[in-house]
Amino acid sequence: MDAPVLLPEDKLAQANQVLANLSAELGKALVGQRQAIQEVLIGLLCEAHVLIEGVPGLGKTLLVKALGKTFAGQMKRIQFTPDLMPSDVVGHTYFDAATGRFTTRQGPIFTHLLLADEINRAPAKTQSALLEAMQERQVTLEGNPLPLPKPFMVLATQNPIEQEGTYPLPEAQLDRFLLKIRIDYPSAEEEAALARQVTDGSTGADLSVEEVRTLIQPPTILALQQYAARVAVDDRVLNYAVAIVRATRETPGLACGAGPRGSIALVRAARACALLQGRAYAIPDDIKAVALPALRHRVTPSAEAAIEGLSTDELLTVLLDKVPAPRS
């Protein structure tokens, strides 16, 4: 087998600088939450979709709005509600009496970045309106396939399923997301900084994205995605990712393990993680770094584990400690 052609040093340095600037701009809007910022950028580099979960008020929507502010392309937002219809998402065809012709009205899904806010507050039939777009980058209206702009990325936010008025996302919907990102409560220092930033000379009660600068154009994102796709993945690193995913199917406490898409997600995300670290090759630590967000929505804890109070992340963490990583 021929050795992989590594990304040239100049391209690597260029990508690293752009990504560092992006991360810094997102940090202006979102206090703390460095891991969530990095994982959103991984999704962007992978040309993939991300699901962001957390209780209300932790900055899920703010993070997506800040990413949209750094980006000179189109960004649209859909507020998911119980009465939202699929046609409100993808659009519809109607008869225009003035012209005597059928006209297609494209929905808000025709954009570069789509913020699907509180996606699990809409029923499954509306959530499923995103399936074709997320998988095939197109929408079919009246039998006509309409391509979506490039790049296209769905950034969905959701409240934990225990919250009132939420619907669980179907498994097929969850599988379309490369990563499920969790935003937790900030540390005491971060919360103090957050309170200071919001209340210092402001009459409002929320952070804004006004200070975030626009840095990148759609072609820049496409170029970064090509760079991430060229990050080298050694066979031993790839086999390590596959071993982790196969172990989820045999681990006590997991009733249902991840499918082959889990292995693919681990490798894709690990390449982007390596690029964020300024490397042209992936290492086992990259696989470990992305394992929780790439797999937590692809496995199902058993009833016994739920009774014992074991979370999906805890079960996966134990699994990661048991699967040996390649040493060299």
CATH number of the domain residue 34 falls in:
3.40.50.300
Phi, psi angle pair for 119, to nearest 5°: -60, -30
Residue carrying structure tokens 């040996």? 324
Q: What is the rounded average pLDDT of the residues 242-251?
A: 94
Q: Say if residues 120 and 109 touch (Cβ distance below 8 Å).
A: no
Q: How far apart are CA 194 and CA 167, in angstroms?
A: 31
In a domain, 5, yes or no: yes
In a domain, 145, yes or no: yes
Q: What is the rounded average pLDDT of the residues 16-45?
A: 91
Q: Name which of 140-154, 189-203, 246-260 the model is least confident about.
A: 189-203
Residues 268 and 224 in one domain: no
Residues 163 and 270 in one domain: no
**pLDDT for residue 1:** 42
| Boundary-marking domain end, from 178, 197, 230 | 230
Q: What is the rounded average pLDDT of the residues 193-210?
A: 69
pLDDT in tens, 277-306: 999 999 999 999 999 999 999 998 988 988
Read off the tokens for 24: 């810094």
Q: What is the rounded average pLDDT of the residues 142-146?
A: 85
In a domain, 7, yes or no: yes
Residues 221 and 262 in one domain: no
**pLDDT for residue 228:** 95
Number of domains in the chain: 2
For residue 64, what are the domain limits?
Answer: 1-188+214-230
Residues 240 and 183 in one domain: no
Q: How far apart are CA 4 and CA 229, in angstroms?
A: 12
Q: How far apart are CA 324 and CA 225, in angstroms?
A: 30
CA-to-CA dists, residue 167 to 57, 118, 174, 200, 237, angstroms? 19, 10, 13, 38, 37
Q: Quick one: which of 173, 160, 276 has its CA closest to 224?
A: 276
How many other C-beta atoms are found inside a 10 Å radius of the C-beta of residue 93?
13
CATH of residue 239's domain is 1.10.8.80
| Boundary-marking domain end, from 230, 260, 281 | 230
In a domain, 74, yes or no: yes
pLDDT in tens, 56-88: 878 888 899 999 999 998 999 999 999 999 999
Residues 48 and 183 in one domain: yes
**pLDDT for residue 111:** 94
**pLDDT for residue 32:** 78
**pLDDT for residue 328:** 63
Residue 28's pLDDT band, with cuts at 50, 70 and 90, is confident
The amino acid at 193: A
Is pLDDT above 60 for 2? no
| Boundary-marking domain end, from 177, 198, 230 | 230
Q: Say if residues 295 and 246 touch (Cβ distance below 8 Å).
A: no
Residues 2 and 136 in one domain: yes
Residues 65 and 39 in one domain: yes
Q: What is the mean pLDDT of the chain?
A: 88
| Stretch (H or E) spanning 245 | helix 235-248
pTM for this model (two decimals)? 0.90
